Amino acid sequence: MKVLVVGGGGREHALVWKLSKSERVRRVYAAPGNAGMAKSAQCVDIPPTDVDELVRFALKERIDLTVVGPEAPLTLGLVDRFQQKGLPVFGPNKKGSQLEGSKVFAKNLMVRVGVSTAPFEVFSDFATASAYIKAKGAPVVVKADGLAAGKGVIVARNVNEALHAAEEMLVRGSFGDSGKRIIVEECLKGEEVSVLAFTDGKSVLTMIPSQDHKAIYDGDRGPNTGGMGAYAPAPIVDHGLLEAIETDILKPVAKEMADSGNPYEGVLYAGLLVNAEGIHVLEFNCRFGDPEAQVQLALMETDLFDLLERTVAGDLSRASIEWLDQYAVCVILASGGYPSRYEKGKAISGLDALAPMRDVVVFHAGTALSDGRIVTDGGRVLGVTGLGKDLEGAILKTYEAVSRVTFDSVYYRKDIGAKGLLGRGGSG
pLDDT in tens, 384-408: 999 999 999 999 999 999 999 999 9
How large is the average pLDDT for residues 193-211?
A: 97
- Rounded CA gap, 203 and 313, in Å? 12
- Rounded CA gap, 76 and 47, in Å? 13
How large is the average pLDDT for residues 187-205?
A: 96
Per-residue model confidence (pLDDT) at position 424: 47
The verdict on 173 and 234 lying in the same domain is no
Domain-ending residue, one of 180, 200, 225 = 180
Pairing label, strands 89-90, 65-68: parallel
The verdict on 343 and 409 lying in the same domain is yes
Q: Helix H segments across 263-382?
A: 292-299, 304-313
Per-residue model confidence (pLDDT) at position 151: 78
Whether residue 425 has pLDDT greater than 50 = no
Q: Please report which confidence band the pLDDT of residue 426 belongs to, taking 50, 70 and 90 as the band edges.
A: very low
Containing structural domain, residue 335: 327-421
How large is the average pLDDT for residues 162-185?
A: 95
Domain-ending residue, one of 93, 108, 133 = 93
Q: Please report which confidence band the pLDDT of residue 80 belongs to, taking 50, 70 and 90 as the band edges.
A: very high
pLDDT single digits (tens) 3-36: 999 999 999 999 999 999 999 999 999 999 999 9
Whether residue 289 has pLDDT greater than 50 = yes
The verdict on 233 and 313 lying in the same domain is yes
The verdict on residue 58 lying in a domain is yes
Q: Please report which confidence band the pLDDT of residue 199 belongs to, taking 50, 70 and 90 as the band edges.
A: very high
Q: Please report which confidence band the pLDDT of residue 121 belongs to, taking 50, 70 and 90 as the band edges.
A: very high
The verdict on 169 and 200 lying in the same domain is no
| DSSP code at position 361 | E
Buried b (16+ CB within 10 A) or exposed e, 375-404: bbbbbbbbbbbbbbeebebbbebbbebbee
- Which CATH number belongs to the domain containing residue 291 in this structure? 3.30.470.20
The verdict on 207 and 175 lying in the same domain is no
The average confidence (pLDDT) of the chain is 95
Per-residue model confidence (pLDDT) at position 302: 98
Q: Rounded to whole angstroms, what are the CA distances from 169 to 139, 182, 201?
A: 18, 8, 34
- Which CATH number belongs to the domain containing residue 147 in this structure? 3.30.1490.20
How large is the average pLDDT for residues 128-145?
A: 96
Quickly count: other Cβ atoms within 10 Å of residue 272's Cβ. 25
The verdict on 313 and 237 lying in the same domain is yes
Whether residue 382 has pLDDT greater than 50 = yes
pLDDT single digits (tens) 36-74: 999 999 999 999 999 999 999 999 999 999 999 999 999
The verdict on residue 426 lying in a domain is no
The verdict on residue 277 lying in a domain is yes
Pairing label, strands 373-376, 367-370: antiparallel
Per-residue model confidence (pLDDT) at position 148: 86
pTM beyond 0.75, yes or no: yes
Per-residue model confidence (pLDDT) at position 423: 60
- Rounded CA gap, 106 and 123, in Å? 15
pLDDT single digits (tens) 319-368: 999 999 999 999 999 999 999 999 999 999 999 999 899 999 999 999 99
The verdict on residue 119 lying in a domain is no
Specify burial of residue 123 (Cβ count, 10 A radius: 0-12, 13-18, 19+). buried
Which sign, positive or negative, has the C-alpha torsion 9, 15, 18, 19? negative
The verdict on residue 30 lying in a domain is yes
The verdict on 305 and 195 lying in the same domain is yes
First to last CA, the chain: 43
Contact between 5 and 32 (Cβ < 8 Å)? no
Domain count, the chain: 4
The verdict on residue 103 lying in a domain is no
